[in-house]
Every structure is written in C-alpha cells, then in structure tokens.
Amino acid sequence: MDELSSGGETPESPGQAPSPEDEPTASSNGAASPDGQPNGSAVPVRSRRRSARISNLKLSSRLQPRNRKQWLGVAASVAVVVAVSFAGSRLMGSGAVANPSASPDLTTGATRTGASPTVQHSDESSPSAGPSGSASVSSNLPTTPSAVPTQTAPSATVTFRNVVVDSAVDPNRTTRTFAFTSDGPGAVSAQVVASSPMDGTTLCLSIEDAGATCATGGTPGFPYEVTTTDHTRWMVTLISAGESSPTVDLALSWPTNNPSVTLTHGRFQGTPNRDSLRTLTANFSSRKSGNATLDASWPPGASNATATLAEVSNTGQTTIREMRYTNTVSTLPAYSAPVGSGKLYRLDLVNEGVDGQRADLTATLTFP
C-alpha cells in the first residue's frame, strides 16, 4: 500500500516478469558498465527493494519444513511444550488446604498429618460433592488402599434424622457430636446421606487421640473407613459450612458387640419451634431380641418430654412404648422398650414444653 500511495505503482506477483521499468538503467551519462550493470548509483530504488524481497523469500523457504512429516514434527513439539506448561501451572496452583481446626470453608485441597495406625482409608473413600458440585477434604488418616478385614463383630447401623446443624456464624453455635466404639476389625462408615437443598455441612471424623479428618459438601462423609484394632473410639462432628443452618440425616455403621452411640450438644427446644429443633429422631436395626434404651438430659431448663419407640414396616409404624417426662431435665428413669430380632425401629424424643433457654441435649442410645 505504501508503494501504491506514494508512487502509484502496482506491486508484482511472485514470478511475474519484470516490466521494462524494472530493467537496469543507464548511468547519468547514459553509458552502461561492461557487465551489464549500470554505472555508479543509478540502480533504481524499486529494483533494490525487489531484490531484497527475493532474498528474504529464499531465506524463509530454507528455514521452513519442506514436507508433511516435518510440519507434523513441529506441531507435535509445540503441543508438548503447551501441555507441560499447562500441567505445571495446575500443579503450582493446587496447594490450598482445608484446616479442620479453623472455621469451616469450601477450599479445595487436602493435608494428611499425624496419621493413626488403627484405621485405613479404602481406595473408594472420597469427599462428597457439595451443593455446587465441589468438595474439600482435610485428612489426618492414612490413604493406603486396604481390603476390609474379616469382622469378628456384626455391624450396627443407625441413622439420626433431621439433625439441625448450627450456622458457622451463630454466636451461640455448638458442634453436633456423635461418639461410638468399634469392636474388632471391620468397616466403619459416617456419612451425611440427606441434606436441605443448597446447604453445605462440614463433617469431621476422629479416632482415639488422633487429629480430626474433615470433609465439606452437601452430603460429606467417610463411608469406607477400615479399623484393624480390637477397640477404637470414634467421634463424628457436624457444623455448617457457612451462614445457613442445614438439616441433615447422619448415617453411622460400625462393627460392635454392644451398639451404643452418644449425641452431645444437640438442639432440643420447645414450641413454637419446628419439629426438627424440638425432636431427637433415630432409626436403627436390631440384630437380635432385647431392649433398646435411651438415657438423655437437656439442661439448663426443665421441660416436658415424650419418648416413643415404634416398629417400622412397609405398612407403617406400630408404637411399642411411649413414656412421658414432666418438668424435668432428663429421662429419669432411663427409657427402655423391647425390640425383636432383625427389625427396623424409630425412636423419638420430643420436647413438649415451651421454648425458653436453648437446651444442650445429651442422649445415649443402646440397642441389641
């Protein structure tokens, strides 16, 4: 375009024969040199530019690949460089760690320190996805894949229904804590199996005196733990991952000869609060005939409460026993009801009083 605008000339196409104006011209005195070149500096500017372009084209052609294999080689080299650079940037940016001792968050990452020798992750264990499809885990448990050893005690299963989890920003918040002891080697599971929509919960698992292992998400948990010791005390805690107050179902399973699980720091408020804040509900399966018991207390204020055990079947629920407690802070005497072998039961403890001070519920459930 410079040539068109400055001199009104038309650029040549590659291979186009030179026009008469491009031929060497005579010197200022009109004579040509013996070798056919013009004398002095009378070579036209256009000819010098044309020669330079031809030289550059020749140099460029020598530097470029001459066939399909060379082009493919160049493309493969570029792809490798780009892939290595991308992988390096991903690795450098994956070091975020969730801290179980800090306020719960949704940071993706993991750390494993202070491992206890009494438990192992199986190769299927992983944090559950949160409401947005993401999850985080901070682990103090070893991650060596391990087959589940032969159990010497049968598995006990219990699900705590409609557990209200305190908001992380609630100034009066408490952490829901569930404790149980396993007998002998076998599989252990602690998992949120249902949650109110769009809410996130942080579930932490600890054994004996080891540090807690935490997972955050919509339905977090550790469903594939393995214990190899004769007796191990486990502790599960729940707290909200944010400002919301989720309502969740927590399922527990562990090998034991005498199933017993204790909830501490539960919500147990009176009317007009909704049922989930007023009621402790647990579903469990009996492995043999015997008695199911509930020993509960809810200081600091006295209230009225009702404990009910019902057998659950495909046709509905059948009440086994109901006991009322009046103006008290505990189930004294402890609640007890007979159960049959291989059946599913539901136990409810309801605060029938008027809401006052926030109760701090402690309840121990045992069953055969």
pLDDT digits (tens, 9 = 90+) for 99-114: 333 333 322 223 222 3
Q: Is 140 in contact with 114 (CB distance < 8 Å)? A: yes
In three-state secondary structure terms, 314 is coil
Q: What is the pLDDT of residue 203?
A: 98
Exposure string of 43-56, with b = 16+ CB inside 10 Å and e = fewer, is eeebbeeeeeeeee
What does the pLDDT look like over 104-155, one tens digit per residue?
Answer: 332 222 322 233 333 444 333 333 344 433 344 544 454 444 577 889 999 9
Who wins on pLDDT, 208 or 297?
A: 297
Q: Is 191 in contact with 251 (CB distance < 8 Å)? A: yes
Per the structure block, which two tokens stand in for 330?
């505990």
Q: What is the pLDDT of residue 120?
A: 44
- H or E element: which one contains 237? strand 231-240
Q: What is the pLDDT of residue 356?
A: 82
Strands 231-240 and 221-227: unpaired
How many secondary structure helices (H) and strands (E) does the chain include? 4, 18
* Complete edge-to-edge strand list for the sheet that includes strand 335-339: 136-138, 213-217, 201-207, 231-240, 176-183, 260-266, 361-366, 290-297, 335-339
Count of all residues that appear for the chain in the document:
368
Who wins on pLDDT, 137 or 197?
A: 197
DSSP 8-class letter at 96: -
The CA radius of gyration of the chain, in Å to the nearest whole number, is 39
Distances in whole angstroms, Cα of residue 195 to Cα of each of 221, 224, 225: 12, 20, 22
Question: How far apart (Å, rounded) are the C-alpha atoms in residues 161 and 194?
Answer: 9
Strands 279-285 and 136-138: unpaired
Per the structure block, which two tokens stand in for 365?
């459930």
Question: Within the chain, where are the H helices?
Answer: 2-7, 45-63, 68-92, 275-278
Who wins on pLDDT, 351 or 133?
A: 351
Per the structure block, which two tokens stand in for 233?
């005390």
215 beta partners: 137, 203
Per the structure block, which two tokens stand in for 356?
């006052």
Distances in whole angstroms, Cα of residue 254 to Cα of each of 74, 114, 181, 259: 59, 23, 8, 9
Residue 348: closest CA among 299, 313, 311, 310: 310
Residue 111: closest CA among 92, 136, 87, 91: 136
Q: What is the pLDDT of residue 141?
A: 52
Per the structure block, which two tokens stand in for 243?
């400002």
Distances in whole angstroms, Cα of residue 231 to Cα of each of 121, 153, 204, 284, 345: 18, 11, 20, 22, 27
When pLDDT is cut at 50, 70 and 90, the band that residue 209 belongs to is: confident
191 beta partners: 221, 251
Per the structure block, which two tokens stand in for 193?
């199996």
Whether residue 82 has pLDDT greater than 60: no
Residue 190: closest CA among 205, 200, 176: 205
Q: What is the pLDDT of residue 210?
A: 85
Q: Phi, psi (5° rounding) for residue 65?
A: -60, 140
DSSP 8-class letter at 92: H
User: Any residues with CB less than 8 A from the CB of 72 and at least 6 apart, and which?
Assistant: none
Question: How far apart (Å, rounded) are the C-alpha atoms in residues 221 and 251?
Answer: 9
What does the pLDDT look like over 29-54, one tens digit per residue?
Answer: 444 444 444 444 444 444 444 444 44
Q: What is the pLDDT of residue 70?
A: 53
What does the pLDDT look like over 171-183, one tens digit per residue?
Answer: 999 999 999 999 9
Q: What is the pLDDT of residue 132?
A: 36
Whether residue 166 has pLDDT greater than 90: yes
